[in-house]
Amino acid sequence: MEKVSLKKDTNILQYVKENRKDNVVVARIDGRLVDLDTTLDSEKEVELISINDDEGLQVLRHSAAHVMAQAIKHIYKNAKFAIGPATDSGFFYDVDVGRTLTISDLPPVEEEMKRIVRADYSFKRKELSKEEALSYFSNDEYKIDILRRIKDSKVTLYTQGDFTDLCGGPHVPSTSFIKYFKLLSVSGAYFRGIETGPVLQRIHGACFATEKELNDYLHFLKEVKKRDHRRLGKELDLFHITDEIGAGFVIWHPKGAMLRHLIEQYEIREHLKRGYELVKGPELLRSELWKKSGHYDNYRELMYFTKVENQEFGVKPMNCLGHIAVYASKKRSYRELPKRYFELGIVHRHEKSGVLHGLLRLREFTQDDAHIFCRADQLNEEITKVLDFVKDTMDIFEFDFSLELSTQPEKHIGSEENWRKATQALQQALEKTNKEYRINEGEGAFYGPKIDVKLKDALRREWQCATIQCDFALPERFNLVYTDKDGREKRPVMVHRVILGSIERFVAILIEHFTGDFPLWLAPVQARILPVSEKFLSYGMEVYKRLSERGLRIEIDARGETLSRRIREAEKAHIPFMCIVGEREKERKSIAVRQRKKGNMGNFSVEAFSNMIDEMCKNRINQTA
């Protein structure tokens, strides 16, 4: 980005060309982005924005959407268009071509886009009245709908070559700037997101400033596809989701259930070590409680309700009310605080079918939920301990992470003073971490500000994980108190927090992070015993029994397939170790050990192999690294 002072009547595009500023695509004047083909009406300071700047890249991507629309119009003469914005990696356009498109329809569109780019059409801006625009788009019901929602009396159109579109702009100077793009996918999309509305075709494309950036992104997409937890979940026999059961509800298979168990086992052990107590609340609570908490007014659209003997109950979307009930069950002294209650609580949320996505977005999931009830003077220390817990856990699971502070939203409960104190406590704890953090203004929960932890996976994607919410409001609404050392009743502060968040979501992230190659301590099956033939099945079963008794997670594959095929299938199933038993192993009471990806390790006694596995798990060694 470069600032220049330009005189009256200067055409910015002409200035850019004369000064050979070839990467400049858009300008800012008085805080507003404008096309380069703008002539100044007075002397101005102008910011020249490059194609490599974030704003310049967004303008490039939006211009690419217009080029795609032009290409579609050339191929489908009766095509109509809704919206076509830029995205973080490219663009999309919602279109109506009179039929359902498939991925095989995209190459001709992409080739036509390349022809349009080579033609070097200029983007021309035209301002006109809304009435004139309504007349121009009289045969396009989607543009008519969009125009009628615009409050301004004037609108703008952009034309490149033979194609004109409704758009506020700005755009790159010409189509030749749009060099590095790729059409990726097509899917259905409701017009304006309304489920009862028309279904359009949403075509996604990638667009970057350089060929290298585009190629890097396409490689990233290949990695994402390779790591997709839905595909790997099926291949590794971990879980499945079926419409027969219901969208958003998971069926866990033995290996997936074991993976969950190992994560939950870690969680329970670590919570108990840190002074948390296990509790469990009901999944149905009377609606009066949800009204008292504020969830009924602020969260109702995501809740399920039912009636029992004419009394309405809400299925819990979170666990806090059960934990409040535990705290309120008897009188509390200041000496007892802090009280830390932990639950692996099943919750239900009424998510729309369009946002459901494998294990990442479900209608039923398990939260590693805890609530800390503490004195105000203990608040900072408790938040700091939670952040330490988060760091330890991210290290164990091999994740880097970033921190965000979300502040008071427009729709909230509680006093301004309490919001100020809660935000200050979170901020002070964040400062102690010596990590940078971002502030999200107005993104807090309705009852309090929060710290969000975004873990970063092997592809450097960010995922919402832990959250820490500071709440003065619910203790007041439920009249929670403790007796202080002066004999007076005082109000505790409530900290809502999760470490992993949704267990199901975390499993999905783990699958994609490790591409199914889980660290040995997390592997649902740590070793598979492979008898060379049926003759050695009896010894194989003896080894299976001895290793199982020592706590290893073992399978045996005694099918009549060849040994080489069973080895290949074990490796494809991401089994860390294979224990091969034949004549020599039977005679020596040993096993021939083969490690996935690394090959033969030699002969081990059962005890030596078991000890090696124990040591690797104890030290959290990733056997596939």
Q: Is the pLDDT of residue 45 over 60?
A: yes
Q: What proportion of the chain, given as a percentage, has pLDDT over 70?
A: 99
Per-residue model confidence as pLDDT tens digits over 336-351 = 999 999 999 999 999 9
**Spatial separation of the C-alpha atoms in residues 463 and 458, rounded to whole Å:** 12
Q: Of residues 143, 348, 363, 450, which has the active-site annotation?
A: 450
Q: Is the pLDDT of residue 621 over 80?
A: no
Per-residue model confidence as pLDDT tens digits over 387-403 = 999 999 999 999 999 99
Burial of 477 (0-12, 13-18, 19+ CB in 10 A): middle
What is the pLDDT confidence band of residue 175, given thresholds at 50, 70 and 90?
Answer: very high
Backbone angles phi, psi at 257, to 5 degrees: -65, -35
Is 280 within 8 Å of 343 (Cβ atoms)? yes
User: What pLDDT shows up at residue 447?
Assistant: 78
Is 376 within 8 Å of 424 (Cβ atoms)? no
Task: For Cα atoms 504, 509, 512, give the angle at the middle one, nearest 5 degrees.
Answer: 130
Known catalytic membership, residue 320? yes
Q: What proportion of the chain, given as a percentage, has pLDDT over 90?
A: 80
Known catalytic membership, residue 367? yes
What is the pLDDT confidence band of residue 412, given thresholds at 50, 70 and 90?
Answer: confident
Known catalytic membership, residue 371? yes
Is 469 within 8 Å of 426 (Cβ atoms)? no
Q: Of residues 320, 374, 470, 579, which has the active-site annotation?
A: 320
User: What pLDDT shows up at residue 619?
Assistant: 80
Instruction: Note every long-range contact of 34-37, with CB atoms under 8 Å and residues 24 or more positions apart, other chains counting.
Output: 34/170, 35/123, 35/125, 35/169, 35/170, 35/171, 35/173, 36/12, 36/173, 37/11, 37/12, 37/13, 37/122, 37/123, 37/124, 37/125, 37/173
What is the pLDDT confidence band of residue 413, given thresholds at 50, 70 and 90?
Answer: confident
Per-residue model confidence as pLDDT tens digits over 426-467 = 999 999 888 899 999 888 888 789 999 999 998 889 998 899
User: What pLDDT shows up at residue 622?
Assistant: 54
User: What pLDDT shows up at residue 525?
Assistant: 97
CA torsion angle 311 316 317 323 (round to 10): 130
Question: Which position has the token pair 């699958």?
Answer: 511
Burial of 621 (0-12, 13-18, 19+ CB in 10 A): middle
Backbone angles phi, psi at 359, to 5 degrees: -85, -10
Known catalytic membership, residue 369? yes
Q: Quick one: average pLDDT of 475-502?
A: 95
Known catalytic membership, residue 271? no
Known catalytic membership, residue 470? no
Q: Of residues 73, 74, 496, 528, which has the active-site annotation?
A: 496
Q: Quick one: average pLDDT of 294-321?
A: 92
Backbone angles phi, psi at 539, to 5 degrees: -70, -35
Q: Of residues 61, 143, 295, 349, which has the active-site annotation?
A: 349
**Spatial separation of the C-alpha atoms in residues 213 and 506, rounded to whole Å:** 29
Q: Quick one: average pLDDT of 408-428?
A: 86
Is 459 within 8 Å of 223 (Cβ atoms)? yes
User: What pLDDT shows up at residue 419?
Assistant: 87
Is 368 within 8 Å of 344 (Cβ atoms)? yes
Dihedral of alpha carbons 409, 381, 373, 369, sign: positive
What domains appear along the chain, each with residue ranges and CATH number? 2-50 (no CATH), 54-227 (3.30.980.10), 275-514 (3.30.930.10), 527-618 (3.40.50.800)
Q: Of residues 70, 160, 201, 367, which has the active-site annotation?
A: 367
Question: Which position has the token pair 């989607």?
Answer: 142
Q: Of residues 37, 53, 369, 452, which has the active-site annotation?
A: 369
User: How does the average pLDDT of the chain come out, rounded?
Assistant: 93
Known catalytic membership, residue 207? no
Helix axes 254-273, 503-514, angle to 10 degrees: 110
Q: Is the pLDDT of residue 31 over 60?
A: yes
Per-residue model confidence as pLDDT tens digits over 514-524 = 999 999 999 99
Q: Quick one: average pLDDT of 48-62?
A: 95
Q: Of residues 260, 371, 505, 586, which has the active-site annotation?
A: 371
Per-residue model confidence as pLDDT tens digits over 190-234 = 888 777 788 899 999 999 999 999 999 999 999 999 999 999 999
